[in-house]
Structure 1
Amino acid sequence: MRMRRHLWGISLGVALSCGAAWARDTGTKQEQHEGVRLGEASEDQIGFTQQVAFLDQTQIALGKLALEQSKDPSVRAFAQRLIQEHQQHLQSLQTFAEANTLNLALVDLGAADMAMGGSGPVDGAAGGELEERTVKYQDAYLQQVNAFTTLRSQLSQLQGRDFDRAFLEQVSSYQKQGQKLVNTGLSRFREDTAFSVLLGRLVPVLQRHQNEAQSMVKALDSTQP
């Protein structure tokens, strides 16, 4: 129980931080330079898109871990669906990012030796301010990666039903926080039709996975020896 509470604390902290850096830097303050306003709008969308991509990556990594750790056929089947659907959405997100020159940092969260790529050049008259904002996004992202790495490491130490239950609880938590993140994006970027459609596709996926994970936890509890 103590291990499970500790895991919950880590995952919830990471999930709540999804969008935190983005949220701190969104606002309606008027800047004197048009270049700053346009740049900030771009950075906002880059930061938010990065968070959605990170959500997809965490679920892919958790699903792969479950395939390594779990012996339960139903948990393994759920993990495969989790991987497949979040991989599909991540690919769509990458396609959108490339089409809109948004440079995402993508990390294999299941790899022992992770290397982050991304962070394109900063141009324009307000380059110094934008570069400072970009560094903030990257620092927040690295903190998220480190927190998830800790979570994954602790999950990997669990066995059998303990792993299955902890894995399902983590997925449920991420999916719930993901819905909040996506709903924020649907409101914030409602005038961007293409992006809104892309985010909208994720909503039923998140809802379905959360419901499945919660149902499976209940099933485990009801059959606990």
Structure 2
Amino acid sequence: MVKTNWKARAVTVAVVTGLMGFAAHANDESKQAKQEMKQGKAVGEAAGKRVQYVGKLAVFNNRQIEMARLAEQQASDPRVKEFATKLREDHEKSQESLRTWAQHQQMQISALNDSRQTSEEGTGGSGVQEGYDKKMKGADEKLGKAMDKTNEEITKLQSKQGPEFDKAFLSRIAEDQKKGKEILKEGRKEYKNDGTFLALLSDTETVVSNNEMQAKDLEKQMKK
């Protein structure tokens, strides 16, 4: 008669149960790691998206400042010169506010620093850097094209003289301010839960709307 070794069987069952528990624990850790990676990527992508948005707004400000400086030198109508000075000062103020905010967020924005490097410090963490890098892919090239387009517009405008320049400048600014409002509207919708940034965008939008109306009014006056 074969005797059952109950002690050996008990040990075997305990080992198998332990292995199953270890496997389940390892599986839970794997799921948690994947979830953390997914969340990290989402955070990184959101950071990259904001950096690109701030860069786009900074390029818009720079464009208005450069256009205004040209008009201050080249406009023939005193009213246009006066408007150009106001436009430059408004966008220099907006740019400085944006720069200060970006510094507090530890962002390095190319269009704010006269460089084509665009980044955000401290992105690190599980999946965060990967998500950020993915979102920022091609951002420098896109920003460079925007800057090149601004330079082309300024060169084109610079070739005009007298009243022709004044009218072309006002038309260009009215169109730009309209596009600027669209950029700001996009930001207010996307970052409506960020009170500080939302206030900055709202203030800039008010200035842009006023400048758009003034450019259009001056343009009408010069057509009479």
TM-score relative to the length of structure 1:
0.77
Of residues 153, 167, 170 in structure 2, which corresponds to 1:168?
170
Q: Runs (4+) of structure 1 moved beyond 3 Å?
A: 114-129
Q: Report if aligned partners of 2:47, 2:120 keep a CA contact under 8 Å in 1.
A: no
Deviation (angstroms), 1:33:
2.1
Give the conservation status (yes or no) of the 8 Å contact 2:178–2:212: yes
How far does the alpha carbon of each residue in 1:117-151 deviate from its partner, in whole angstroms, 9 at most, with x for none? 54456644443453243232221111111111111
1:85 aligns with 2:86: no
Match of 1:195 in 2: 197
Shift of 1:167: 0.6
Relative to structure 1, the CA distance from residue 120 to residue 38 in structure 2 (aligned partners, 3 Å threshold; closer, same or farther) is closer
Aligned position for 2:55 = 50
Number of residue pairs matched by the alignment: 188
Equivalent-residue separation in structure 2 for 1:70 and 1:165 (angstroms): 9
Matched, 1:35 2:37: no
| Structure 2 equivalent of residue 23 of structure 1 | none
Percent of paired sites with the same residue: 23
CA gap 1:116/1:137 in 2 versus in 1, 3 angstroms: closer
Larger Rg, first or second structure (1 or 2)? 2
Query: 2:116 maps to what in 1?
Result: 116
The one-letter code matched in structure 2 to 1:192 is D
Q: Does 1:220 align with 2:222?
A: yes
Whole-angstrom distance in 2 between the partners of 1:202 and 1:80: 17
* Match of residue 103 from structure 2: 98
Aligned pair in 2 of structure 1 residues 41, 133: CA closer, same or farther (>3 Å)? closer
- In structure 1, the partner of 2:19 is none
Deviation at 1:32, TM superposition (A): 5.0
Which is helix-richer, 1 or 2? 2
State the one-letter code of the partner of 2:221.
A
Report the counterpart of residue 204 of structure 1 in structure 2. Answer: 206
1:144 matches 2:146: yes
| 1:75–1:164 contact (8 Å) kept in structure 2 | yes
SS of structure 2 residue aligned to 1:218? helix
Q: Distance in 1 between matches of 2:101 and 2:115?
A: 23
Q: Tell me the alpha carbon deviations over residues 190-211 of structure 1, each in whole angstroms, 9 at most, x when there is no partner.
A: 0011100000001111111001
| CA-based RMSD | 2.1
Distance 1:139 1:83 in 2: 27
